[in-house]
Amino acid sequence: MNENQIYVIYGDHIKEMTASLLEAVDLKGRIPSHDSLIGLKPNLVVAKPSSTGATTTPEIVEGVIEYLQKYGYHNLLILEGSWVGDDTGRAFKVCGYDLISKKYGVPLFDTKKDSVSVQSYGGISMEICNKALETDFLIDLPVLKGHCQTYVTGALKNMKGCISDREKRHFHTLGLHRPIAYLNKLLRPDFVVADGICGDLDFEEGGNPVRMNRIFAGSDPVLTDSYIASCMGYRPADIEYIRIAADIGVGSCDIDRADIIELNRDTTLASPASSRRVQSLAKYTEAKDACSACYANLIQALARMEDCGELRALKGHPVKIGQKYQNSSGSGPGVGRCASGFKPCCMGCPPKTEEILKMLRAYRLRK
Ligand code: SF4
């Protein structure tokens, strides 16, 4: 694969999906040697299971380890430092990483306990954990999710787990965006395997999880974050740290020119939304056997409309979505090829979040 490509796989057989994805991108071909120290950096920002939408699904990490061990890479390490105020050891346990470590013989490393090196870029000095700097190949395993300050969080921001707690506090005083982008200039992950199985709509600590049933991979962390932004209904340039990272040459945020390669279609059905916000957004939909990825893209689009105070116009005009609409027609908005009998309809299978947004916004203006 090249830097401009993102590979996406859908479904709910997570370990098998991860294996197929890594075979498709030929991850082994990117690793310098069999002796390389390979760091796996999940997002365990808090000690909460991945079902809350906060942390990296452990089966993805298992899938990566199994792939690497199958091809003879055994010098592996899982490294993370939870946010200030949470204990990484507790997060390893609660999120299932203790068990992974025992099962595969891969050590866990708490970056909070590491020594640091001070490195500088663009006039900002920062304390980066030495173990992260020592890795020969660093695999970033972020979660596709929202963030109350930066709107989205993904591969670039996940690298914050490789700095000291003191530095994490310092980043907040600097407004997060610039230091996050600069950190990735100093410690750029070599590869990204992003968890889009279940991520939170708004908060990095979880609470409003949306089942999205996808995993995606790329070698450019700016491009993978741009893809995350677009999945959540943002333009990459709207997210300041993505824009800065592109400006300083960490990668590209030109998602329109990216080559998005979808290895399959999502066939899993969306399960009833459980969290409060997702339930309240679901009131604007009429779903009948909607696929998870399709439904998640609609929920993300509705969330962006709610953020902008645009949802009211859709009251009484529920959005039709799902396979059971294949032979139906009517007026009012539809989403996905299955609802093509409804007017207007955002086609696609699944349609992209930003296209759903565009259609619903135009529909709202006509009301
Ligand atoms: S358009 Fe229909 S088949 Fe395609 S993802 Fe949506 S619900 Fe599933």
Laid out side by side, the sheet with 191-200 consists of 108-110, 76-80, 38-42, 137-141, 191-200, 209-218, 5-10, 259-262
> Is 350 close to ligand 1, i.e. is its CB under 6 Å away?
yes
Distance 338 CA to ligand 1 centre (A): 6
Which atom of ligand 1 is nearest the CA belonging to 265?
Answer: 5
Per-residue pLDDT of the chain in tens (367 residues, 90 and over written 9): 899 999 999 999 999 999 999 999 999 999 999 999 999 999 998 999 999 988 999 999 999 999 999 999 999 999 999 888 889 999 999 999 999 999 999 999 999 999 999 999 999 999 999 999 999 999 999 999 887 788 889 999 999 999 999 999 999 889 899 999 999 999 999 999 999 998 888 777 778 888 899 999 999 999 999 999 999 999 999 999 999 999 999 999 999 999 999 999 888 888 766 778 888 899 999 999 998 889 989 999 999 999 999 998 898 999 999 999 999 999 899 999 999 999 999 999 999 999 999 999 999 887 6
User: Quick check: pTM over 0.85?
Assistant: yes
Q: How many CB atoms lie within 10 A of CB 358?
A: 14
Residue 302 in tokens:
């509705």
Q: Which of 12, 288, 324, 338 has most ligand 1 atoms within 8 Å of its beta carbon, as the pocket-test mutant?
A: 338
